[in-house]
Amino acid sequence: MATYSRLPGSVALITLQNPPVNALSAAVRQGIVDTVQRALKDPKVTSVVICGQNGKFCGGADIREFAGPMLGPPLVPMIHAIEAVDKPVAAAIEGVALGGGLELALGCHYRIAHSKALLGLPEVTLGLLPGAGGSQRLPRLIGLTAALDLITTGRQHDSSFFSSLHLLCVCSQSISSVCVSGQSLDSRRLSTLPCPCPPDVDSLLDKTMVKVRQRSRGALAPVACVQALMAAASLPYTQGMEKERDLLTTLFNSGQARALQYAFFSQRVVGKWSLPSGASWDNSAARTISKAAVIGLGTMGRGIVVALALTGISVVAVETQEKQLAEASQVVPAMLQREAGRRSLATPPGVISFSSNLQDVCEVELVIEAVFEDMSLKLQVFRHLTSVCRPGTLLCSNTSGLDIDRLAAVTQSPGLVVGMHFFAPAHVMKLLEVVYGPRSSPEAVATAMQLGKRMGKVSVAVGNCPGFVGNRMLKPYLEQANFLLEEGATPQQVDEVLEEFGFPMGVFRMSDLSGLDVGWRIRKEAGLTGPGVESTRTRQGRRYSPLPDQVCEAGRLGQKTGRGWYQYDGPGGRVARSDHWVNIFLEAYRAEHGLVARSIAPEEILERCLYALINEGFNILQDAMAAGPEDIDAIYVFGYGWPRHHGGPMFHAGQVGLGRILERLQHHHHNHPDVPHLKPSTLLRRLVAVGSPPVQKWREFINKERVHSQL
């Protein structure tokens, strides 16, 4: 709702009230309409100020309402009516003015803001465009060039940025002096102004469209934003508004908008974690960490040190190999400086000390081990840590899939051991998997989750199983990609299909980037390859492709060696080019194994890679290794490049239709009975059997099924 009060003198104050962010729900819109009317009717009122309760102007349209029918007064005529009134109206912005909130402010005649307020039009991130006049009013106020950047990226900025664009009035003036009654408001009505455009407007729009299409990888909203701004640049306001409405309707009804809105809420759902034990964010106390240590200063360790230091934590960075330590003590401060600059921090807040002595971690509150991914080495480090650290120190491992319980078992306090699985580069990537074992205490999980949040990560609590959630699902995906090569596809064909779907990189380009030796080592440890293992295509009772092992054996480890599934300009080269060697190698391989190459349709490539991955997601939910589909989807969107406009693998399964996924998995499993990952999960079958409920209902369904021992 919105409340009305009279300030001393002649100013009416309208306060938006809808905690926590004063979103423009039907009740708030109705409140605005009513209170503006009241101010207009009151002869003693000469000016109006609109503000938000609890130091927040407005977080925009109420996204929760998008799923239902539109009730209450619509936003566009409401804002238009405010702009048209003949008493000056000012928006007094504290906290946030986002989306519809900023559009409301653009309909006011004046805008003033607190220096720390954040403003922006983030609709594009929800699969929409600023559809309450924002795409037409903003460029008329700040010019087409600046508006294009803000609207197509959804970036938020503080008031000094917007003051420089003349979106805000000078803050030092009092509201009553800003809203001087009697002055003509004509020039304050943004809809009546021309849109300032640069001389090369067509070229600017064309270039922006090309850039946006490249960046958006199939997302509709950024393209629609450019189209709406083209209209603002070339059409009168009324026609521009019609274009805005048409584009918004198309976007609003698209699956992409639903996916992006789901992604918005799932990011928040995973923050409210809960464990099968009943421990959760609201009953577990997190410790505040001020001193931490990182053991191992390879690529991951260095990134983790920077991520911690950026939050203001003092870090002891330990590396026992002198050469690596010397290098890290040069590189890490430079990384920290660069990242602080990127985040507009004047000076990096945390202090880092480098050491080659494990003993130096004895005073810290939390340790993150980031040594080489080798169980015996990690066990050795954990045995050492538990003897040198103060009792009560949290011991975390950055393992990407090894058993947390085994590490916990060698310490004096297994309850204080959790996994903190970062993604490279650790100071940049948003995802953190917080891995709990049966003995991890709620306090340890809460502290790791809280620390992740402080580092700006999307932290997801996951159970302890090989590969945890993300890498466990990656395995069947990679496996299918290799089988497709055996059957006749090329790495480029597979990658093109996945990139067309929206991944920034196909599976083979991604593997080259990560290094092919990572998986090779894991397969060797699992006894799947290496000396003494017979070179067959069935291993440990299931279909196995030795292709990636053979590529590694040829010395092709990916970008770092300049050769992998593709060729590069040299070691460390970034641009992937197809390699004749790979084609010859695949032909020879198929001939050796009596395989006849067939032409494989893009649909089959996509189905087999994605549905195998999705099927493993259902198995993970069934095994209670992730609390809900939102957790899996957040992991894939923030850690594995899953296109956000497809919501995440589990959301995508719902969009495709669970019945269809089941039927296609059955089909592929029938054709490949020696591939257990294609066997449809029991949970998927159960969901289909009860009529394929929407993804938001799965968590409840799984819990019920578990109670009734159906899973």
Q: Report the catalytic residues.
A: 103, 123
Closer residue to ligand LOW37U6P (CB): 26 or 235 = 26
Beta bridge partners of 112: 92
> Shortest Cβ distance from residue 16 to ligand LOW37U6P (Å)?
12
User: Which residues, including other chains, have CB under 8 Å from residue 115's CB and lie 6 or more apart?
Assistant: 158, 159, 160, 171
Residue 225 binds ligand LOW37U6P (CB under 6 A): no
Residue 70 binds ligand LOW37U6P (CB under 6 A): yes
Site string for ligand LOW37U6P, 253-272 (x = CB under 6 A): ---------------x----
Q: Which residue from 59, 470, 491, 654 is in contact with ligand LOW37U6P, where contact means CB under 6 A?
A: 59
Closer residue to ligand LOW37U6P (CB): 74 or 657 = 74
- Write out the binding residues for ligand LOW37U6P, residues 127-186 only, by CB under 6 A: 128, 131-132
**Contact by Cβ (8 Å): 270, 261:** no
Closer residue to ligand LOW37U6P (CB): 21 or 516 = 21
- Write out the binding residues for ligand LOW37U6P, residues 317-346 only, by CB under 6 A: none
Candidates 15-23, 216-224, 447-455, 536-544: pick the segment binding ligand LOW37U6P (CB under 6 A). 15-23
Of the candidates 649, 657, 304, which has an alpha carbon nearest to the alpha carbon of residue 470?
Answer: 649
Judged by DSSP in three states, 160 sits in helix
> Shortest Cβ distance from residue 69 to ligand LOW37U6P (Å)?
9
- The pair phi, psi for residue 391, each rounded to 5°, is -60, 140
Judged by DSSP in three states, 640 sits in coil
C-alpha separations of 437 from 434, 442, 624 in Å: 10, 11, 12
DSSP conformation class of 72: S
**Contact by Cβ (8 Å): 191, 137:** yes
Residue 96 binds ligand LOW37U6P (CB under 6 A): yes
- The pair phi, psi for residue 5, each rounded to 5°, is -145, 160
Looking at residue 486, its amino acid is E
* Two tokens, residue 379: 């066990």
> Shortest Cβ distance from residue 64 to ligand LOW37U6P (Å)?
5
Candidates 119-127, 178-186, 561-569, 669-677: pick the segment binding ligand LOW37U6P (CB under 6 A). 119-127
C-alpha separations of 77 from 58, 80, 131 in Å: 18, 5, 12
Residue 497 binds ligand LOW37U6P (CB under 6 A): no
Candidates 123-131, 282-290, 378-386, 575-583: pick the segment binding ligand LOW37U6P (CB under 6 A). 123-131
Closer residue to ligand LOW37U6P (CB): 128 or 313 = 128
Closer residue to ligand LOW37U6P (CB): 49 or 96 = 96
- Report d(CA 407, CA 87) in Å as an integer: 69
- Write out the binding residues for ligand LOW37U6P, residues 22-41 only, by CB under 6 A: 23
* Two tokens, residue 693: 């409920």
- Contacts of 342-347 with C-beta under 8 Å, sequence gap 24+, read 343/310, 345/310
Which position has the token pair 């189905």? 607
Closer residue to ligand LOW37U6P (CB): 126 or 316 = 126
Which position has the token pair 């790495």? 491
The DSSP annotation for 288-341 comes to: PP-EEEEE--SHHHHHHHHHHHHTT-EEEEE-SSHHHHHHHHHHHHHHHHHHHH
Looking at residue 383, its amino acid is R
Closer residue to ligand LOW37U6P (CB): 78 or 96 = 96
Question: Could you give the dihedral angle defined by the CA atoms of residues 546, 552, 558 and 563, in that order, rounded to the nearest 10 degrees?
Answer: -110
Residue 60 binds ligand LOW37U6P (CB under 6 A): yes
> Shortest Cβ distance from residue 230 to ligand LOW37U6P (Å)?
19
Candidates 57-65, 401-409, 507-515, 602-610: pick the segment binding ligand LOW37U6P (CB under 6 A). 57-65
Residue 628 binds ligand LOW37U6P (CB under 6 A): no
- Report d(CA 630, CA 621) in Å as an integer: 11
10 Å Cβ neighbour count for 164? 12
User: Which residues, including other chains, have CB under 8 Å from residue 655's CB and lie 6 or more apart?
Assistant: 255, 258, 259, 646, 647
Residue 67 binds ligand LOW37U6P (CB under 6 A): no
Candidates 53-61, 364-372, 575-583, 661-669: pick the segment binding ligand LOW37U6P (CB under 6 A). 53-61
Residue 75 binds ligand LOW37U6P (CB under 6 A): yes
**Contact by Cβ (8 Å): 191, 136:** yes
Question: Could you give the dihedral angle defined by the CA atoms of residues 585, 586, 589 and 593, in that order, rounded to the nearest 10 degrees?
Answer: -170
Where does 187-236 have alpha helices with state H? 201-216, 221-234
Q: Which residue from 14, 35, 52, 62 is in contact with ligand LOW37U6P, where contact means CB under 6 A?
A: 62
Site string for ligand LOW37U6P, 498-527 (x = CB under 6 A): ------------------------------
Q: Which residue from 11, 12, 16, 21 is in contact with ligand LOW37U6P, where contact means CB under 6 A?
A: 21
- Report d(CA 254, CA 646) in Å as an integer: 11
> Shortest Cβ distance from residue 418 to ligand LOW37U6P (Å)?
23
Closer residue to ligand LOW37U6P (CB): 66 or 589 = 66
Candidates 126-134, 288-296, 337-345, 349-357: pick the segment binding ligand LOW37U6P (CB under 6 A). 126-134
Closer residue to ligand LOW37U6P (CB): 75 or 455 = 75
Candidates 54-62, 84-92, 541-549, 578-586: pick the segment binding ligand LOW37U6P (CB under 6 A). 54-62
Element (H, E) at 704: helix 698-707
Asked, as a colleague might, if the bond just before 88 is cis with ω within 30 of 0, I would say: no
Give Cα 193 to chain centroid, integer Å.
Answer: 38
> Shortest Cβ distance from residue 706 to ligand LOW37U6P (Å)?
25
Residue 603: exposure state from Cβ atoms within 10 A (0-12, 13-18, ≥19)? exposed
Candidates 61-69, 83-91, 145-153, 409-417: pick the segment binding ligand LOW37U6P (CB under 6 A). 61-69
Number of helices (H), then strands (E), in the chain: 28, 18
Residue 126 binds ligand LOW37U6P (CB under 6 A): yes
> Shortest Cβ distance from residue 70 to ligand LOW37U6P (Å)?
4
Closer residue to ligand LOW37U6P (CB): 124 or 396 = 124
Give the interface size with ligand LOW37U6P as a residue count (CB under 6 A): 23
Residue 64 binds ligand LOW37U6P (CB under 6 A): yes
- Report d(CA 123, CA 404) in Å as an integer: 40
**Contact by Cβ (8 Å): 183, 177:** no
**Contact by Cβ (8 Å): 240, 192:** no
Q: Which residue from 8, 20, 182, 594 is in contact with ligand LOW37U6P, where contact means CB under 6 A?
A: 20
> Shortest Cβ distance from residue 320 to ligand LOW37U6P (Å)?
40
Q: Which residues bind ligand LOW37U6P (CB under 6 A)?
A: 20-21, 23, 59-64, 66, 70, 75, 96, 98-100, 122-123, 126, 128, 131-132, 268
